[in-house]
Structure 1
């Protein structure tokens, strides 16, 4: 058995115990401490922090784009890849104290496939039912990891629904050629099959207690967590000005249009703006262009706005750069950016 060590997070004063074979992020999540994170694979830098006290820690493989060598030498770390070998004190650089203390401990669950249907030519709506346990609590906007059968690998997908009150979880998953999970989903998964999941993870959740206008920017399977947030707003009667810009290539890449239009009636101050980057036939009467370009031309002053971004990594990177230039406080830009496998990632 490996040893456990105490890791203290400042400036919030929270401590967790971390086994040497765990990452700090994983141990915190298991104890209900929700630290800022994104990919959990050392790719995005969302969990980057600074080691104040202690230096005996090792990292699993990570991208130097997320943690450049010079930052690592200065004492920065990625919590999703760091293993402690002594007690540590860590300064959180990106955190929401209310969010940290509201975390739900992660759990493993077995689920049965209810349905696996096309919503576009290359995206699936996967619905599963919890078998053991029968309930898995999560906040709208969070995600779980699916174990890819026979590989020892996992892939992360956001829930599109708002709770497991009916025992089910809903996902919107883009199929990539050669994708480790998505190709398996496309060619093999049938109703009745059993899958293993672990979660919840993620901090792409609606910050309550604020009246700030909301801006959602999405593309591809980034539809799932944003749809979860919008559905939650409708269920709870959250009356905040909100706009959802969703980018697709052609009309056949759009999904959930009818529901989003219906949400415009349930949420009086909500507006749905789909945009196509390839509308060459001229039949499309809506917005055209890359979704970030549509946001740039449609919004002149986003001061005081809370922005939520989820979609393909290039879109997320462009939006995260654009939104502060339009007035959004950098600390009020929340995003999920997942890495992909297969030909497209």
Structure 2
């Protein structure tokens, strides 16, 4: 362990303590301060902040996340930064309510309870937490699951809303040769131990807002959105909400019964499945289904999103296409929340 230093975050006026051997972001997580973050690996810039005072040194990072000129101006990445003196840091991207409602990050043991197929390439994985796990999370957050026998991990969002029953549920897309998802093809089985670390993430419902909710997701990106919708149903939330879900073909759709149940429990909720490649004859029948890319359907059906809170979750191409579209449709940046799969996860897991 190295020396410890005090770090003050402005303009929120929050203090933490950080050891020289840990990153500033991890120090914040350890103390239940949930700062904005994404990849946690110096690739995405979500935790970019400005160093006001002190000696901060960074591990290697991508210049895509922090350009050289930004570094020279004083910008830093908290996921790469180590404190070598007391620091004062100005947060660039932050949500004060989220920061103050953070939960301490812990590492917990789990046991595989079940693995079931949802589609030809998506699985539902249930992990039973050890009795002394002590892990809690807000709906919409995620954990890192350690890959057995390696020093690596993969990040997955919980699809359920609480650990009251001691179980974590995940919707996981299987990739051929995936370092974790490939284990779901018969290597992992009920009873196998897995270690998880979390919770992470700020893809949570802003309960102080009463704006209409627009959810946009694709593939396994349903996981955190399902958690948020279940949270709304459990709490009797009556905000108007619509969920545009993108899939290639009808065989890629799943959890339709759960969506129908949510529509019964949430009278102001509409589920819109969008098929981008081929739709069966008669699609969508009497339902709300659409054809085309989910972003195309969003643009076609939504005339005014300026007064909406928009939540995006899915692969990078979908999120990258949606962000400029939302800007062109007049949605303020502070009303857009997204959870984008990391490059590593998309490439091999």
| TM-score in same-fold range (> 0.5) | yes
Rounded to whole Å, the distance in 2 between the matches of 1:330 and 1:241 is 20
Equivalent positions of 1:34-53 (< 5 A) are: 34-53=34-53
Tell whether the 8 Å contact from 2:250 to 2:279 is kept in structure 1 after alignment.
no
Residue of structure 2 in register with 1:164 after alignment: 163
1:192 aligned partner: 191
Shift of 1:187: 3.4
State the secondary structure of the residue aligned to 2:191. Answer: coil
- The 1:314–1:138 alpha-carbon spacing in structure 2 relative to 1, beyond 3 Å, is same
Are 2:200 and 1:201 equivalent residues in the alignment? yes
Equivalent of residue 326 in structure 1, options 318, 321, 329: 329
TM-score, normalised by the number of residues in structure 1: 0.96
Q: Say what the alpha-carbon RMSD is for the aligned residues.
A: 1.5
- Cα distance in 2 for partners of 1:70, 1:53 equals 18
The match for 2:118 is: 119
Deviations 1:167-190 (A, max 9, x none): 111000111122221112333110
Shift of 1:282: 4.3
* Regions of 4+ moved over 6 Å: none
CA-to-partner distance for each residue in 1:290-317, whole Å, 9 max, x for gaps? Answer: 1111101111111121111110011111
Question: Per the alignment, in what secondary structure is the counterpart of residue 80 of structure 1?
Answer: coil
Q: Does 1:22 align with 2:22?
A: yes
Matching of residues 51-200 of structure 1 within 5 Å: 51-54=51-54, 56-200=55-199
Write out per-residue CA displacement over residues 82-132 of structure 1, whole angstroms, 9 at most, x where no aligned residue: 112122111101111111111110111100111011111111100011114
| Partner SS state of residue 28, structure 1 | helix
Query: In the aligned structure 2, how far is the partner of 1:343 from the partner of 1:6?
Result: 37
Quote the Cα distance in structure 2 between the aligned partners of 1:335 and 1:328: 13
Look up the match of 1:315: 318
User: In the alignment, is the contact (CA less than 8 A) between 1:179 and 1:341 conserved in 2?
Assistant: no
SS of corresponding position for 1:120: coil
**Counterpart-to-counterpart distance in 1, 2:20 and 2:250:** 50
Contact 2:241 2:269 in 1 (8 A): yes
Aligned residues: 344
Which segment drifts farther, 334-343 or 151-160? 334-343
Q: Which residue number corresponds to residue 266 of structure 2? A: 267
Please report how far the alpha carbon of residue 69 of structure 1 lies from its aligned counterpart in structure 2 after TM superposition: 1.6
Structure 2 unaligned spans of 5+: none
Contact 1:178 1:342 in 2 (8 A): no
Is 2:302 the partner of 1:302? no
Q: CA deviation at 1:5?
A: 1.4
Alignment check: 8 A CA contact 1:126 1:172 kept? yes
Structure-1 separation of matches of 2:63 and 2:182:
29
Deviations 1:31-80 (A, max 9, x none): 011111112122221111111112x3222232222211211121111111
Displacement of 1:320 after TM fit? 1.7
User: Normalising by structure 2, what TM-score?
Assistant: 0.95
2:211 equivalent in structure 1: 212
**Aligned residues of 1:177 and 1:342 also touching (Cα < 8 A):** no
Residues 180 and 341, structure 1, Cα contact 8 Å, conserved in 2: no
The unaligned stretches of length 5 or more in structure 1 are none
Q: Deviations over 1:238-274 (max 9, x none)?
A: 0001010110111111111111022111101001011
Q: Deviations over 1:148-207 (max 9, x none)?
A: 111101111000000011111100011112222111233311001110001101000001
Distance 1:11 1:90 in 2: 9
Distance 2:81 2:160 in 1: 32
Q: Would you say the 8 A contact 2:59–2:80 is kept in 1?
A: yes
